[in-house]
């Protein structure tokens, strides 16, 4: 695990968007607090202060301008069993690792994914990762969905984790994705500034909802095909399923995404068999985190990493670009 020594203090300034929420709910949104249960335990143990005074209740409602500060619990003993597996490392130094996550790989252990995650591979390759994320998330500063590919940064040390997490919290990290969506945007670019929250009944889904957390996605058309569009999406915030939920709210569901929109493939007229086979065979969301930029926590250098979409994504684009693929294609 990471080096020993005093645990750094964490800070969180309450913004108007989160005013009125419970303290444990807000605390659990911080990258260094893995869950609401962890937040409640920190408060119960007297580790959390509100405006300089020890907080006694997890249910305390917060006001804009309030400041929380806390000292994280020491990292729990690591119980995960490291597992060998391929890692495509883009950069590594004494403080962090930047890698290209393949589609189909879960980032950290979760219900239904106790083994075979990226964390298991990382621990086999590098046993000494930051412990702030806890037993199941050592070194994990941010995450990508299982079927989303692309650039991910992992912290080796606690100070690096703190610094990177603060950048994500302040929305200063530069993140850009490529995605294929069903539909034809009327404009060449646009911005979705709409709050996201849990669906009232489908609790695994995120939707645009009043009272949700502010979320901002900037999008731009890269290529147009008949019935399908290749977009670049830049995140200003980083909410769960943000791109998928925001685009779905525009009627532009991500190709291959079973959660946020049904494929209109059966309604596409005169689609070539080659294209139909390629689209129906793409069994994951066509979403790739192509760029990640941040300030190095030790050197202060501005870093930017970029990766090309994986082979299956590029192969699908090639099919869509091929002449005659969409001969007289129309949504009926």
Beta-sheet pairing, 149-155 with 287-295: parallel
Residue 147: DSSP 8-state: T
How far is residue 192's CA from residue 217's CA, in Å, rounded to a whole number?
5
DSSP 161-198: HHHHHHHHHTT-SEEEEEEEEES--SSSEEEEE--EEE
Contact 164, 153 (CB under 8 A): yes
Q: Which of 45, 69, 93, 145 is catalytic?
A: 145
| Catalytic site includes residue 69 | no
Residues 6+ apart with CB under 8 A from 151: 90, 98, 99, 100, 101, 289, 290, 291, 292, 305, 306, 307
- Helices 273-280 and 311-321: crossing angle, nearest 10°? 150
Under 8 Å between Cβ of 146 and 134: no
Active site residues: 145
């Amino acid at each position: 695990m990471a080096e020993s020594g005093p645990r750094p203090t964490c800070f969180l300034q309450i913004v108007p968007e989160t005013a009125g929420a419970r303290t444990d709910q807000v605390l659990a949104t911080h990258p260094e607090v893995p869950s609401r249960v962890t937040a409640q335990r920190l408060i119960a143990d007297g580790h959390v202060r509100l405006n300089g005074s020890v907080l006694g209740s997890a249910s305390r409602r917060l006001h804009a301008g309030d400041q929380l500060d806390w000292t994280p619990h020491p990292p729990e003993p690591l119980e995960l069993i490291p597992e060998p597996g391929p890692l495509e490392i883009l950069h590594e130094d004494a403080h962090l690792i930047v890698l290209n996550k393949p589609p189909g790989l879960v980032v950290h252990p979760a219900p239904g994914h106790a083994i075979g995650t990226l964390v298991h591979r990382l621990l086999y390759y590098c046993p000494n990762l930051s412990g702030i994320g806890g037993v199941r998330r050592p070194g994990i500063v941010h995450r990508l969905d299982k079927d989303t590919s692309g650039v991910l940064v992992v912290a080796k040390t606690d100070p690096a984790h703190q610094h990177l997490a603060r950048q994500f919290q302040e929305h200063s990290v530069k993140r850009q994705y490529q995605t294929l969506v069903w539909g034809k945007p009327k404009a060449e670019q646009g911005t979705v500034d709409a709050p996201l929250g849990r669906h009232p009944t489908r609790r695994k889904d995120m939707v645009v909802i009043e009272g949700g957390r502010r979320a901002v996605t900037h999008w731009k058309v890269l290529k147009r095909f008949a019935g399908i569009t290749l977009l670049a999406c830049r995140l200003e915030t980083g909410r769960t399923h943000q791109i998928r939920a925001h685009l779905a709210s525009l009627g532009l569901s991500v190709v291959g995404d079973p959660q946020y929109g049904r494929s209109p493939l059966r309604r596409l007229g005169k689609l070539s068999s080659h294209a139909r086979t390629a689209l129906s065979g793409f069994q994951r969301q066509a979403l790739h985190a192509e760029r990640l930029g941040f300030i190095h926590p030790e050197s202060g250098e501005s870093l930017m990493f970029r990766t090309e979409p994986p082979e299956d994504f590029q192969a699908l684009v090639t099919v869509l670009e091929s002449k005659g693929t969409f001969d007289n294609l129309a949504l009926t």
